[in-house]
């Protein structure tokens, strides 16, 4: 039973039995994420003070400049997960290929793979705007005792056993689900402890916020254009309010608390939108469904899509159930 002010450590132990495989391995994995989150939080918080801003000179597989903090966050998560020997494989938005983790005695016995975006929205760092980490956990499908293969990573989002995000905002929060609702923990930076501050988070069924990069309007499909016009029309609770930070974790976190829809549709210039199915859409969709919301690519639930590539992109509509359904209606009408 979730109790406010419970520490994350206490919560993990108390809720371990809720998890059907319950060997303690998943709990240890969440613990490792908690630790890495504190390391990254420390770095993000001092970003304005030390010379760790700006590009690291590399480009990632999507051809984007990597910020130094992207590299730092990626390393912190990978090192923590490898040192603790609790996953058999790691896929990261910042790495071209997945990493095989041999584990204790090099025996490939670990059961979980993790996929992550170690620092999402990193273009916001230079201007002191919130960024986040997103993670997604699956049980491997290949037999233990053998090295992981790409199959273990290309599972539909429906197979996730846990997913979460860390938001490095005005306060730092870790929000996650193991398929039993969504709970949010706020970091007390003075003592480095996460406390349960947002038990059982739920998207309001209906909301009045829409979040989309409207600069791309001309390139959007007609259904999206029509839905945006609907959001702006005068009627009952409309026009809606437009709020777009351009930091997925922050936009979705706000919409989950206040009620709203986030959209990154396909466009005439990006045929699958921008967001990555495995590192961004799937974990956010799992959290959203667990919080009573809805997430789709405009037609099909995100969690039902069969991934074909590690770095594949997908259009993304996510948020309060009734708002996403309305957007889907507009999409269906202009097929």
Of residues 120 and 152, the one with the C-beta less far from Mg ion: 120
Spatial separation of the C-alpha atoms in residues 198 and 125, rounded to whole Å:
26
> Nearest distance from residue 274's CB to Mg ion, in Å?
9
Q: Which residues pair with 120 in a beta bridge?
A: 132
Q: Do 132 and 247 form a contact (C-beta atoms < 8 A)?
A: yes
- Distance of alpha carbon 38 from the chain centroid: 17
Considering only 248, 256, 277, 302, the residue that binds ligand AHM (CB under 6 A) is: 248
Q: Which residue is nearest to Mg ion (CB)?
A: 120
> Nearest distance from residue 197's CB to ligand AHM, in Å?
23
The verdict on 296 binding ligand AHM (CB under 6 A) reads no
Task: Tell me the backbone φ, ψ of residue 74, rounded to 5 degrees.
Answer: -60, -50
Site track 119-158 with Mg ion (rule: CB under 5 A), x = hit: -x--------------------------------------
Q: Using alpha carbons, select from 37, 92, 47, 101 the residue that is nearest to residue 69.
A: 47
DSSP 35-58: HHHHHHHHHHHTTTTTT--SEEEE
Beta strands in the chain (DSSP E): 55-59, 65-67, 87-92, 99-100, 112-120, 131-139, 162-168, 172-177, 182-188, 193-198, 209-211, 241-242, 260-264, 294-296, 316-319
Residues 58-117 close enough to bind ligand AHM by CB under 6 A? 64, 117
Size of the site for Mg ion (CB under 5 A): 2
Q: Which does 328 bind (CB under 5 to 8 A by kind): ligand AHM, Mg ion, none?
A: none
User: In this chain, which stretch among 81-89, 164-172, 247-255, 318-326 interacts with ligand AHM, using CB under 6 A?
Assistant: 247-255
Q: Do 63 and 93 form a contact (C-beta atoms < 8 A)?
A: no
The verdict on 117 binding Mg ion (CB under 5 A) reads yes
The verdict on 94 binding Mg ion (CB under 5 A) reads no
Task: Tell me the backbone φ, ψ of residue 260, rounded to 5 degrees.
Answer: 180, 175
Site track 202-221 with ligand AHM (rule: CB under 6 A), x = hit: -----------x--------
The verdict on 297 binding Mg ion (CB under 5 A) reads no
Q: Which does 7 bind (CB under 5 to 8 A by kind): ligand AHM, Mg ion, none?
A: none
- Distance of alpha carbon 107 from the chain centroid: 30
Q: Which does 247 bind (CB under 5 to 8 A by kind): Mg ion, ligand AHM, none?
A: ligand AHM
Spatial separation of the C-alpha atoms in residues 308 and 34, rounded to whole Å:
30
The verdict on 272 binding ligand AHM (CB under 6 A) reads no
The verdict on 297 binding ligand AHM (CB under 6 A) reads no
Binding site for ligand AHM (CB under 6 A): 64, 117, 120-122, 213, 246-248, 251, 274
Binding site for Mg ion (CB under 5 A): 117, 120
């Amino acid at each position: 039973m979730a109790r406010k002010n419970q520490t994350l450590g206490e919560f993990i132990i108390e809720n371990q039995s809720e998890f059907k495989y319950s060997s303690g391995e998943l709990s240890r994995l969440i613990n490792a994420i908690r630790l890495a989150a504190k390391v990254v939080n420390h770095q993000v918080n001092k970003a304005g003070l030390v010379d760790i801003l700006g590009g690291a000179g590399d480009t990632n597989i999507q051809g984007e400049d990597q910020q130094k903090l992207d590299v730092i966050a990626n390393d912190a998560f990978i090192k923590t997960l490898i040192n603790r020997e609790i996953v058999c494989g790691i896929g990261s938005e910042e790495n071209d290929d997945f990493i095989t983790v041999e584990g204790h005695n090099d025996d490939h016995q670990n059961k979980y793979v993790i996929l992550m975006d170690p620092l999402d929205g990193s273009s916001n760092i230079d201007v002191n705007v919130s960024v986040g980490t997103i993670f997604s956990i699956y049980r491997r499908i290949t037999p233990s005792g053998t090295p992981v293969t790409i199959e273990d990573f290309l599972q539909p989002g429906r197979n996730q056993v846990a997913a979460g995000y860390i938001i490095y905002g005005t306060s730092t929060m870790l929000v996650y689900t193991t398929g039993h609702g969504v709970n949010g923990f706020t970091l007390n930076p003075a003592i480095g402890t996460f406390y349960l501050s947002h038990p059982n988070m739920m998207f309001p069924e209906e909301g009045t916020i829409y979040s989309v990069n409207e600069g791309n309007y001309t390139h959007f499909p007609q259904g999206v254009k029509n839905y945006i016009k609907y959001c702006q029309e005068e009627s009952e609770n409309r026009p809606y309010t437009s709020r777009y930070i351009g930091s997925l974790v922050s936009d979705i976190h706000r919409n989950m608390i206040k009620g709203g829809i986030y959209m990154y549709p396909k466009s005439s210039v990006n045929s699958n939108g921008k967001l990555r199915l495995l590192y961004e859409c799937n974990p956010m969709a799992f959290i959203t469904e667990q919080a009573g919301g809805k997430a789709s690519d405009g037609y099909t639930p995100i969690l039902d899509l069969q991934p074909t590539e590690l770095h594949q992109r997908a259009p993304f509509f996510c948020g309060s159930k009734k708002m996403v359904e309305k957007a889907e209606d507009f999409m269906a009408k202009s097929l």
